[in-house]
Structure 1
Amino acid sequence: MGDWIEEGKKAPAFTLTADDGSKVRLAELAGSPVVLYFYPKDDTPGCTREACAFRDQKTQLKKMGAVVLGVSADSVESHVKFRDKYQLNFPLLADIDHKIAEKYGAWREKNMYGKKSMGIQRSTFLIDGKGKVAKVWKRVKVDGHDEQVLAALKELA
């Protein structure tokens, strides 16, 4: 279980398959701020609210040149269903073996009703245009999170 990646550190590189079958490489997004958010599971209540909040902020995010990427351990097929059901307008990346979640520290032991298991801890990493981690949100509370991210993006600008 990795430690959380810290603010000011270089963001771990990754290449993951998106819901449209394309490969998304962090290195190819240099020059744009990236909102990389890890979420536990497609089409569950909290994850749906979070995804829809980012969807609805598309105009603001675009104004700031930001790229939003959602990451979970779900399959590409699962991501396609989730995307289509809620008309999501940003890539969902499949981290099936949770290697990238581990690199960022988002793969953690969780305790649900006394049952311990490993899974993705809802967390967001704001990566600046130079590939550095500018801000980390651990154990994200969904409501109002999109506003926190927009505020942090404004500080980057």
Structure 2
Amino acid sequence: MSKTPDIGAPAPDFTLDAVRLSEGTAIREPLTLSAQRGRPVVLAFYPGDDTAVCTKQLCSYSSGFEQFTDLDAVVWGISPQGLDSHERFARKHGLRMPLLADTEHRAVDSYGIGMGGKALRRAVFIVDAEGVLRWKHVALVGLTYRGVDTLTAQLRLLGA
């Protein structure tokens, strides 16, 4: 397993296919981390669509979506499932953030959160407007996650 990037280091860049819902329509497009420069990005890596803890985590981020957008922050959910699975998950729970499909574990590997095979550690990384990693939490056991209040407090520390 590779090491997670250090705080203060440039965030590993990646491009992944994503799906997001807009007024009931699924929009599929590639998203690139470096294209988000100018605003902070919350990268929420989660093990699986429609699993108990992942659903609770992403639904909480979706419910608190305005708290992120009020800070001009972008939130991306990232997991190894494909776009069809992500779309079903987003529709079922009304998720408002893009869900990125890391089917080949490119981002998972570059962020050092793979656990061998298709498994990954639940992790959240905050990347600042210049593309520098400013905060991270990597769970040892994926049964808990960092909530909206913790993430928005970290974003405020960036001056977001």
Both proteins in one fold, TM over 0.5: yes
Say yes or no: does 1:14 pair with 2:14. Answer: yes
Q: CA deviation at 1:145?
A: 2.1
Matched, 1:49 2:56: yes
Q: Which amino acid aligns with 1:155?
A: L
Report deviation, 1:118: 5.0
Q: Distance in 1 between matches of 2:67 and 2:104?
A: 32
- 2:136 corresponding residue in structure 1: 136
Counterpart of 2:34 in structure 1 is: 27
Structure 1 segments, 4+ long, off by >6 Å, are: none
- TM norm structure 2: 0.89
Instruction: Answer yes or no: is the 8 Å Cα contact 2:12–2:111 preserved in 1.
Output: yes
1:45 corresponds to which letter in structure 2?
A
Counterparts of 2:148 and 2:47, CA distance in 1:
17
Aligned position for 2:23? none
Match of 1:39 in 2: 46
Q: Distance in 2 between matches of 1:104 and 1:67?
A: 18
Identify the match of residue 85 of structure 2 among 66, 71, 78: 78
* Number of corresponding residues: 149
Instruction: Look up the equivalent residue of 1:12 and give its one-letter code.
Output: P
TM-score by length of 1: 0.91
Point out where structure 1 has 5 or more consecutive residues left out of the alignment.
Answer: 110-116
Residue 114 of structure 1 corresponds to which residue in structure 2? none
Please tell me whether the aligned partners of residues 48 and 81 of structure 2 are also in contact (alpha carbons under 8 angstroms): yes
Identity %: 33
Structure 2 residue ranges without an equivalent (≥5): 20-26
Measured after TM superposition, the shift of residue 146 of structure 1 is 1.9
- Per the alignment, residue 2 of structure 1 pairs with 2
Deviation at 1:26, TM superposition (A): 0.8
Question: Equivalent residue of 1:53, what SS?
Answer: helix
| Cα root mean square deviation, aligned | 1.2
CA distance in 2, matches of 1:60, 1:96: 29
